Structure 1
Amino acid sequence: MNRHAQEDFRFQVDLSGMIHILSNHLYSSSKVFLRELLQNAVDAITAMREREASHQGRVRVEIIGTGSGATLAMEDNGIGLTEEDIHEFLAMIGQSSKRKDGKLVGETSFIGRFGIGLLSCFMVSEEIVLLTRSAKGGPSLEWRGKPDGTYSIRKLESELSCGTKVYLRCKPGSELYFDPANVEAWLSDYGSLLPYPILFEAEGSCKTINMPHPDWMNNLALARGSREEVLKFGEQLLGESVRDFIPLTSSSGRTCGIAYILPYAVNLSAKRSHRVYLKYMLVSESAENIVPDWAFFVKCIIWTDELQPTASREHFYENEKLETVRSELGESLRRELMTLADLDPERLKGIIQLHALSMKALAVEDEAFFRMIHRWLPFESSYGRRDLGELLDENDELYYTITLDEYRQIMHVASAQSLPVINGGYVYDAGLLAGLPYLYPHKKIERLLPEDVSFSFIDLTAEERRQYYELTRDGDAALQRFRCRVQLKRFKPSTLPSLFTLSKESSDLRNLVAAEEVSTTELSSILGSLSSAYEDQLYSTLYLNLDNEVVARVFGSGNRAILVAAVEMLYVNALMMGHYPLNRKEMKVLNEGILRFIDLGLSAYGKGGETP
């Protein structure tokens, strides 16, 4: 024997193992066997219509019996199978009947491509019985397949009508998948948009699962004139109420749909969920990647014939085609919103008010869209929550902060002095506000830093500065260990005793100190060295309001011990008002200060609780 001789072998396929993979790894649920049967039926009818254009296709599903004795039958009047077709397509795992000249067709009018769908029936039945007769001629045939990989073919004496009928008998533990209510619901889910009637018979009743396509599905320009019908259509398929809708289409027109605007605000991190149909068969009821992420204020119903499904046909491949379609649907949505700005601004305003966050996300990406809708975008301001257009109309000067902490520090002072300050600390807001000066070059629109707020403070008179000089130095010395300076001013509102401000650099230093307190010894040493480099040059500022009754009494008392204790407590109070976390030294000041003032209060009374 030639030692170099090569011997070839054929792979052996364990069909029961394949079925286990299908049920546990490929498909999300065993109920997909219904979709696979529907898919085969619809593809058979499609093939028949290619042969005879006038053919009227239909699918009939019937549940016979109940419980473990139930049988499901699905019949179509499609093109049927010859014996050769059966050997080639039903007995070859991975083979697809959607082929021409032995090659898989890249662009076909069929739904299925992978030739494994019929195996899903073994997840709920121990045997598949198929009766068929081909429109191409030949006898009526019976095919029986078993999960051990064996099958038989028998020629029938009776002549069946063209088409295929599949019988599945419930196997133990699969009663759920033969329950009439469940089967009806799943057929409706998968087949509600299919173009051929689906009849369902069970328990003596017969009903049509799906309805003919409305005219506007084939011509989305008609959707605007069928508002109530489109809204009802969406509520039926999505299972929830909707507020409005926007038609969507790709540039090729091969992917279309309706974006339904939700009647409630959606969290930015909320999971996206859209219903997508491939050639009108449901592929996914929770697709997340069919429209851009910024479109989280809509739920879409999409139908397509150009995207490539995965083997499970429950998702689409994340490829260049999907990326293109996603971008085009996003552009379609953006374009429709801009059309609303011209044709129905009040309708657009209602959408923006409800879904402001999503509108801002889109405006950040698209300058033209921002120009179109910016006046309706709501912002938090020292005048309350207002539309940006109102703030622009009422003020020639506008200020904004870029963080929430900055806004909280100066909000009370700005509001009391009618200073128009917009909070840019929420997501997208700062970026949008930074673009306003380019749209309104004749207006003063600037970022306002906490340390800049002093421009609205009233300086003390020369006499007051002399009067309070020593006391101000004492208060300033008390806060040196916190790297904070004290300034005595007058400002509104008089009810606000103090205001703490810090620059970005002193904010960085404060964060370093906080990190140093909770870090390991080695890291603490590094952070300590970094903070010492800042120490001599970076200070925050505590403004004390001499118009405030408490501050005036403290500085008018002449009691330096009380003044130092009061300044420390006002410092800690200002930090808490500005939502700054207290470090260890500041917590110690707070605790000791409370006890000190309790002691002072008790000392002011003699024995028996009477004032001495």
Structure 2
Amino acid sequence: MSQSSSSSSSSSHPSSSPSAETAHTFQVDLRGLVDLLSHHLYSSPRVYLRELLQNAVDAITARQAAEPGCAAAITVRTGDTLSVTDTGIGLSEADVHRFLATIGRSSKRTADGRFDGAGLDAARGEFIGQFGIGLLACFVVADEITVLSRRADDPAAPAVEWRGHSDGRYTLRTLPASAAPEPGTTVTLIPRADNAEWTRPDQVVALARHYGALLRHDVTVVGPRGETTRVNDTPPWERSHASPLARREAMTAYCRGLFDFTPLDTIELDLPAAGLRGVAYVLPTAVSPAQRAGHRVHLKGMLLTDQAPELLPDWAFFVRCVVDTTSLRPTASREALYEDGTLAAVRDALATRIRDWLTGLAASDPALLHRFIDTHHLAVKALARYDDELLRIVLPWLPFETTDGNVTLEEFARGHATILVSRSVEEFRQVAPIAAAAGLGVVNGGYTYDRDLVHRLPELRPGTAVTDLDPATVTAHLDAVEPAAELRAAAFLAIARETIGAHDCDVVLRDFQPVTAPALLLDNREARHERTRSTLSAESDGLWADILGSLRSETPRAQLVLNHLNPLVRQALTVTERGLAVTTTEALYGQALLLSRRPLKAGESALLNRAFIGLLTHAMHHNGTAAPDAATDSAPGKEL
């Protein structure tokens, strides 16, 4: 890291010349840079330990490239100070000046971005850190850092001690080789009081396990009383197992320990071309498609992030992955994946692997496929929309809401030569009881992906006709009443049409099943749009009202169909008193609205309340009970 002051050099032009230039170097405010790292680049001060582990791993990697079979261990000691010791390549005095005292300079690359280091060609692609700012992260939790190091490739070289401070000062001295008996490096931090929580022994163990659980070198944490804790282990996908069943059990146990759930199934992931291995766990419970799982991504064993939704496509929200890779690029903060062509290719390859697992279940484990679809049918439908092969495989298993209940399309198509598809849940619920009684086959197409999938059925099942539901189709299956009955009800129907006409709705009288349904509200999207336009036009004035008025269409209005077979409706048709006829009509309309299960507007809610109060008042007067007087009811001493 550079000191806060910097030198300047003169240009070749004389200073007295009007065109004279003076070259300067940038000055670095180290405290400001540390604040930038801690508050903007890194998500938490805890990354300091990740950076120390990363440097230690890279130092060991460099030594192993030049000295295969050398010792490979990392030891973290906690107490009043915190230190990390590695058996890596070590640093010389020149290395310290070049790398530790220069911000942004990494021993893994040269100034033009290429990796540096004599004899380390084989290791260049294996380094984890490449940005040259890792050690600065330690100043987030400490005001002083000491680095004691000795080169492994020069037994006679002295040890060097570098001591840096958060204000930009540093000192360097050489020590006898005995000061560092073994080659390698020890970094020691003196924790700062305001961030001491991150260097507590128990916190250090948790952080070391969090970041380094899959590192390939032994990582041990030594406590203040000398107790040791091994924090890393070989991942289950790299262990040899006695049988496939034992391997699956090991994968499942790893999931329970890491994510605290037992997966529905495990999918091994192995992409040699991308240097990626790991496992995808199928979630045992349904989740929202908008709730994308956070996947754990390790880079050469070091945890990069445990929140990487970009690793898989959106439709794969039913799995949670743990992977270790050598090819994916991290961002500068090393807490997210860099979006590039490699990540896109890995995402596509992982998607293919998950899709192959799903299609293979139909042949290998139908019972598991059934459980999976019961839990994650929405994800399967999302994928099947664009995958003909998958759609053919899973179609017999996918459930749909229909007038015959929740059944598969295969089963539903066997009973209906023509399948009608509603455009919305509201539309389906309006007509479902009547359509079922009339023998019409209607599928609820209002749910995500369902309408698209139903329309693809003829491709997979020739001879099946699929068409969108038209309310007129339902109306055609309703029987007209006898002319004499229509004539007797003319007075009531006239009042009803006047009353409901205010809501852009017609009133008709028909005979239909089931008898228990007093009224049916037949509506469609065009009619709803016209009502919305009419309402906005009435509430507007000036130019906006004129514009909305010009958009008026001749779309058929919604229909309130009264069931002449229903006893309640037959009795209502005999009402001659206008006030009671209006209230009765509003009550029937309100009930039909409720049966459609769509959200009520403010005016419709007011209509329901008005109809209820009107019927209640009429019933009380009919029984000879006077309506309560508000003033009397609120008199002192009056109990409710």
Shift of 1:500: 0.8
Residues 620 and 626 in structure 2, CA contact (< 8 A), matched pair in contact too: no
- Asked if 1:8 is matched to 2:23, the reply is yes
Task: Kindly indicate whether residue 510 of structure 2 is the aligned counterpart of residue 510 of structure 1.
Answer: no
2:233 is matched with 211
**1:1-40 alignment, distance < 5 Å:** 1-40=16-55
* Aligned mate of 2:464, from 426, 434, 443: 443
Aligned CA RMSD, in angstroms, stands at: 2.9
**Counterpart AA for 2:275:** R
The CA deviation at 1:567 is 3.1
Alignment pair present for 1:85 and 2:103 = no
Matched, 1:346 2:367: yes
Q: For 1:161, what is the secondary structure of its paired residue?
A: coil
**SS of equivalent to 2:281:** strand
User: Shift in Å at residue 579 of structure 1?
Assistant: 3.4
- CA deviations on 1:437-489 (whole Å, 9 max, x unpaired) are 22112223332233322243233345545655665455445433433222222
TM-score normalised by structure 2 residue count: 0.86
Residues 494-522 of structure 1: CA deviation (Å, up to 9, x unaligned): 11100011233212112223434665765
Answer yes or no: is the 8 Å Cα contact 1:129–1:167 preserved in 2.
yes
Shift of 1:588: 6.1
Q: What SS does the corresponding residue of 1:438 show, helix, strand or coil?
A: helix
Asked if structure 2 preserves the Cα contact closer than 8 Å seen for 1:451 and 1:503, the reply is no
Following superposition of structure 1 onto structure 2, how do residues 522-561 of structure 1 map, counting pairs within 5 Å?
A: 522-530=543-551, 533-534=552-553, 538-556=556-574
Relative to structure 1, the CA distance from residue 121 to residue 378 in structure 2 (aligned partners, 3 Å threshold; closer, same or farther) is same
SS of structure 1 residue aligned to 2:316: coil
- Report the equivalent of 2:259: 238
Counterparts of 2:251 and 2:625 in 1: how far apart (Å)? 82
Q: What is the distance in 1 between the residues matched to 2:268 and 2:612? A: 63
AA of the residue aligned to 1:86: V
Residue identity in the other structure for 2:161: E
**% same residue:** 36
Q: Is the 1:242–1:262 Cα contact (8 Å) retained in structure 2?
A: yes
Q: Is the 8 A contact 2:93 2:174 kept in 1?
A: no
Partner deviation per Cα, 1:296-321 (whole Å, 9 max, x = no partner): 11111121111111111111222222
Structure 2 CA distance for partners of 1:13 and 1:410, relative to 1, 3 Å = same
Query: In structure 2, which of residues 322, 326, 343 is the aligned counterpart of residue 322 of structure 1?
Result: 343
Q: Deviations over 1:380-424 (max 9, x none)?
A: 222333344443455444332120110111122234455432211
Residues 1:488 and 2:486 are matched in the alignment = no
- Alignment match, 1:188: 209
Q: 1:480 to 1:158 in 2, by over 3 A?
A: closer
Q: Secondary structure at the match of 1:552?
A: helix
Q: Residues 497 and 545 of structure 1 are in contact (CA less than 8 Å); yes or no, is this contact kept in structure 2? A: yes
Please tell me whether residue 572 in structure 1 is matched to residue 590 in structure 2: yes
Greater CA drift, 583-592 or 353-362: 583-592
1:437–1:89 Cα change, 3 Å: same
Alignment partner, residue 153 of structure 1 = 172
Structure 1: distance between partners of 2:263 and 2:284: 6
What is aligned with 2:149? 132
Shift of 1:560: 7.2
Aligned equivalent of 1:110: 127
What do residues 509-568 of structure 1 show as CA deviations (whole Å, max 9, x unaligned)? 1222343466576534432443xx33x553221211111111122235677775554334
Q: Is 1:177 equivalent to 2:198 in the alignment?
A: yes
Question: Structure 1 402/219 Cα, relative in aligned 2: closer, same or farther at 3 Å?
Answer: farther
Tell me, which stretches of 5 or more residues in structure 2 are unaligned? 1-15, 117-123, 628-640
Q: Tell me how far apart the structure 1 counterparts of residues 24 and 261 of structure 2 sit (CA, whole Å).
A: 56
CA deviations 1:352-393 (Å, max 9, x no partner) are: 211122222222233332222122222222233334444345
**Compared CA separation, residues 179 and 521, structure 1 to 2 (3 A):** farther
The equivalent position to 1:410 in structure 2, one of 400, 424, 431, is 431
Counterpart for residue 163 of structure 1: 184
Aligned residues of 1:61 and 1:75 also touching (Cα < 8 A): yes
Unaligned ranges ≥5, structure 1: 65-69
Structure 1 residues 392 and 302, CA gap change in structure 2 (3 angstroms): farther
State the 1:9 CA deviation.
0.9
Q: CA deviation at 1:189?
A: 0.6
Whether the 8 Å contact between 1:250 and 1:332 is mirrored in structure 2 is: no
| Structure 2 residue 59 is matched with structure 1 residue 44 | yes
Pairwise CA distance, 1:152: 2.1
**Aligned-pair distance for 1:322?**
1.9
Moved more, 358-367 or 40-49: 358-367
Q: What is the rounded CA distance, in whole Å, between the counterparts of 1:575 and 1:13 in structure 2? A: 70
CA contact (8 A) 1:249 1:328 kept: no
Residue 138 of structure 2 is matched in structure 1 by 121
Q: Given the alignment, which residue of 399, 414, 417 partners 2:420?
A: 399
- Letter of the 1:74 counterpart: V
Q: TM-score, normalised by structure 1?
A: 0.90
Q: Distance in 1 between matches of 2:324 and 2:593?
A: 56
1:130 aligned counterpart, secondary structure: strand
Distance of 1:108 and 1:582 partners within structure 2: 63
